[in-house]
Chains A and B, each alone.
Chain A
Amino acid sequence: MAGREKMVFVTVGTTKFDALVEAVSSPSIRRQLESLGFTRLVLQIGRGQYEPESFIKPNFRMDVYRFKDSIADDIKGASLIISHAGAGSVLESLGAKKPLVVVINEHLMGNHQIELAYKLYTEGHLLYCTPSELLKTLQDLDVSKLKPFPPGQPEKFAAYVDQFFGLS
């Protein structure tokens, strides 16, 4: 079973994002995930009030937790990531080359955090929707259309600074 496990990881970071947690734990989205071949949902719910219960069923299992020291392993193990718009989660997911759906918290509209997710969406690196559009987004999901996000080039920064200080 573990070998054939296909996991979707949902993360809200340190925020409170009940609308997303409610949406992904709803039966309609779970059915959609199952039809996409997922067998496991790992749900990181942060400071949210709504706390669904973990369960194990023959073909599907859901694990819920609030925080962990590092979500790196969950990101690594996932075949799809559904995340809030926080830059940390977004960059970590894209850095791990995982297909990513960013769900925006409409209560945080105007927050500059959304800027980055929106920009990466317009450049085709991720999908972007509100909690109510999530089901539709998953129904239309075509991860082959997502463009990889190349890693940044800190060596260019180092070279520039070296040159500035006359070290190169």
Chain B
Amino acid sequence: MGQKSANMATSIVNENVRWVSLMCCSIAAIVVLILLRLYFTLKNVGKCSLPSEAKEPLKTMVIMGSGGHTTEMLRLLSGMSNMYSPRVYIIADTDKMSQEKVFRFEQEKNSKEGKEILCNGPGTCIPLCAAGLTMTFLGLKRVYLIYVESICRVLSLSLSGKILYHLADKMFVQWPELQKMYPKTLYIDRIV
């Protein structure tokens, strides 16, 4: 009697061990796949994978900060061609002044491409960049992130800048001393 129940217990234990090891193996395999994907995603940060012959317009999302940052952003865009279109703007829904400025800017640019203006709360930059990175990570679409630090930042990156330091494809700063502190950033003159 005692022998029999001991046998049964052993076989239940064996069964459990098999399940647990199977699960461990699958989890390990998934983790390895995720890490590989993450590795390749991060390895491609800062590299352009667009075919060089295809010169198609690039749909561009422009994420505006509030207040003074709008002026900086529009100055940046003023130098860019209409190859970056359609342009989708993200503006805080309370930021009527920025909205007005964007409308005026687009009218002056006389762009034929339809534009879209999305409204959202402030501080949208990080979640939107995270969404873009997720799309790249999942292989749905390679989303390129270009981050331009505000001219206000002379001695340190902003929080958004710090978060995106290793993740943005290109990060521009506007002061040479800041570039020295963060070697992965680019300084090509003051650009706003």
Contact mask B154-192 → A, CB, 8 Å, 1/0? 111010000000000110101100000000001011111
Report B-chain residues with C-beta under 8 Å of the C-beta of A158. Answer: 79-81
Report A-chain residues with C-beta under 8 Å of the C-beta of B189. Answer: 152-153, 156
Give the residue of B48, B152, B174, B186 whose beta carbon is less than 8 angstroms from that of A112: B152
Task: Assess whether B124 is interfacial by the CB under 8 Å rule.
Answer: no
Given that A158-B79, A164-B170 are known contacts, is A88 also in contact with B68, CB under 8 Å in the complex?
yes
A91 CB → nearest B CB, Å: 7
Q: Which of A119-168 contact B (CB under 8 A)?
A: 119, 152-162, 164-167
Task: Assess whether A86 is interfacial by the CB under 8 Å rule.
Answer: yes
Interface size on A, residues (CB 8 A): 28
Quick check: B50 and A154 within 8 Å, CB to CB? no
Give the residue of B153, B158, B170, B190 whose beta carbon is less than 8 angstroms from that of A153: B190
Quick check: B48 and A166 within 8 Å, CB to CB? yes
How far apart are the CA atoms of A84 and B74 in the complex, in Å?
23
B52 CB → nearest A CB, Å: 5
Report B-chain residues with C-beta under 8 Å of the C-beta of A113. Answer: 152
Q: Give the nearest-CB partner of A158 in chain B.
A: B79
Q: Which of B14-61 contact A (CB under 8 A)?
A: 48, 50, 52, 55, 58
Task: Assess whether B91 is interfacial by the CB under 8 Å rule.
Answer: no
Report B-chain residues with C-beta under 8 Å of the C-beta of A153. Answer: 79, 189-191
Give the residue of B52, B80, B191 whose beta carbon is less than 8 angstroms from that of A152: B191
Quick check: B68 and A87 within 8 Å, CB to CB? yes
Task: Assess whether A96 is interfacial by the CB under 8 Å rule.
Answer: no
Task: Assess whether B67 is interfacial by the CB under 8 Å rule.
Answer: yes
Report B-chain residues with C-beta under 8 Å of the C-beta of A161. Answer: 80, 146, 170
Given that A152-B75, A157-B191, A161-B80 are known contacts, is A166 also in contact with B151, CB under 8 Å in the complex?
no
A114 CB → nearest B CB, Å: 9
Quick check: B50 and A152 within 8 Å, CB to CB? no
Give the residue of B97, B153, B188, B192 whose beta carbon is less than 8 angstroms from that of A115: B153
Interface size on B, residues (CB 8 A): 39
Quick check: A119 and B154 within 8 Å, CB to CB? yes
Name, among B97, B154, B172, B175, the residue most crowded by chain A CB atoms within 10 Å (CB to CB): B154
Give the residue of B68, B80, B97, B172 whose beta carbon is less than 8 angstroms from that of A91: B68
Quick check: B170 and A87 within 8 Å, CB to CB? no
Task: Assess whether B78 is interfacial by the CB under 8 Å rule.
Answer: yes
Quick check: B78 and A87 within 8 Å, CB to CB? no
Q: Which of B116-155 contact A (CB under 8 A)?
A: 144, 146, 148, 150-155
B128 CB → nearest A CB, Å: 19
Task: Assess whether A73 is interfacial by the CB under 8 Å rule.
Answer: no
Quick check: B156 and A112 within 8 Å, CB to CB? yes
How far apart are the CA atoms of A111 and B80 in the complex, in Å?
32
Report A-chain residues with C-beta under 8 Å of the C-beta of B158. Answer: 112
Q: Name A's B-contacting residues (CB within 8 A).
A: 14, 69, 86-88, 91-92, 112-113, 115-116, 118-119, 152-162, 164-167
Write 25 A-B pairs (CB below 8 A) sorted by A numbering.
A88-B68, A116-B154, A119-B175, A152-B75, A152-B151, A152-B189, A153-B190, A153-B191, A154-B75, A154-B77, A154-B80, A154-B192, A156-B188, A156-B189, A158-B80, A161-B80, A161-B146, A161-B170, A162-B81, A162-B83, A164-B170, A165-B50, A166-B48, A166-B50, A167-B81
